[in-house]
Amino acid sequence: MNNESSTGVERRSLDDAPVRVVSARVNLGTRLRNLLSRRELLTSLISSDIRIKYKGSALGLFWSMLSPALTLGIYDLVFSVITKNGYPDFALYLFSGLVVWNMFFNSVISATGVIVDRAGLVKKVSFPREILPLANVGAAVIYFFIQLGVLCLFLLVLGHSPAWSFLWILPISFAALYLLAASVSIVMSAITVYMRDMRHLMEVLLQLWFWLSPVVYSYENTISLRLHAHGIAWVYFLNPITLIIMTFQRIFYVSTNVNSTQIPHPVLHILPSWPMSTYFYLNASLLGLMAIIFLISLTIFGRLEGNFESEL
């Protein structure tokens, strides 16, 4: 009798144990269709994110322009006045890269903990959970276009014309940037449900990622020479945002070789002197790769979301 009783207890305890789901219930095609069918919800969440971020702020959206402008001023002071790197119109070179980086950074840093932060919504309402990190990316896109407008205004003030013949490559490069930001945001938002410290770790990793990207220094004058000496220059382009930043710099800063403002006459090689076709093929290839990675990120999210309710 005792054995039968203990067996019954064990069975009941096993029945009460939470079941961990490790496979997606929705296939990739259905997942994509669900996202498309909930476009209105995505738009509503993007609008909500923007309102919440600037709620009670006297300047509101103006901060999205003022913040990068202040950051730009600090970097320009350090690299043009204090350290004197010799780049003419360095603020323009810097801002061209910062516009790209700010969109990626804002997307990932805000989306990493979004599932945890909106646990009540996730538990109570049925909707594609990927919409939450995608809404953060969408809000970052709004800020991106505001900052891009500031960049265009900056061009007018300096009387600097962009590389008009390269301008048609910009949408391709931006699409690759969007898919990169969306892919990282989707995966990190899911992982953070299980590892809450990930949002703090991402802050450190993004700082490292920033300095591995050619925003405040020239790829051609620093990294390229050292890597070419070892025959491994291609390694630097394993960082997918590198090509996107360099494309924006090529379009808005334009110059690939300039005369230093600090040393008499030497030529500074700032950007690769690739023809337009090379920029196109590289960005088109990157866009294709990012599309594949985006689909993989949705698959990973689907594998992890089965236990969201129990983990939250």
Write down the pLDDT at residue 1.
Answer: 47
Write down the pLDDT at residue 294.
Answer: 95
Q: In which band, very low, low, confident or very high, does the pLDDT at 231 lie, cut at 50, 70 and 90?
A: low
Which pTM was predicted? 0.85
Please state the rounded mean pLDDT for residues 59-64: 67
Please state the rounded mean pLDDT for residues 32-37: 83
DSSP string over the chain: -HHHHHHHHHHHHHHHSPPPP-S-SS-HHHHHHHHHHTHHHHHHHHHHHHHHHTTT-SSTTHHHHHHHHHHHHHHHIIIIIIS----TTHHHHHHHHHHHHHHHHHHHHHHTTHHHHTHHHHHH--S-TTHHHHHHHHHHHHHHHHHHHHHHHHHHHHT----GGGGGGHHHHHHHHHHHHHHHHHHHHHHHHH-TTHHHHHHHHHHHHHHTSTTSS-IIIIIHHHHHHTT-GGGGGGSHHHHHHHHHHHHHT--SEEE-SSSSSPEEE-S----HHHHHHHHHHHHHHHHHHHHHHHHHHHHHGGGHHHH-
- 166 has a pLDDT exceeding 60: yes
Which one has a higher pLDDT value, 27 or 265?
27
Which one has a higher pLDDT value, 78 or 4?
78
Domain positions in the chain are: 26-311
- 9 has a pLDDT exceeding 60: no
Please state the rounded mean pLDDT for residues 219-245: 74
Q: In which band, very low, low, confident or very high, does the pLDDT at 5 lie, cut at 50, 70 and 90?
A: very low
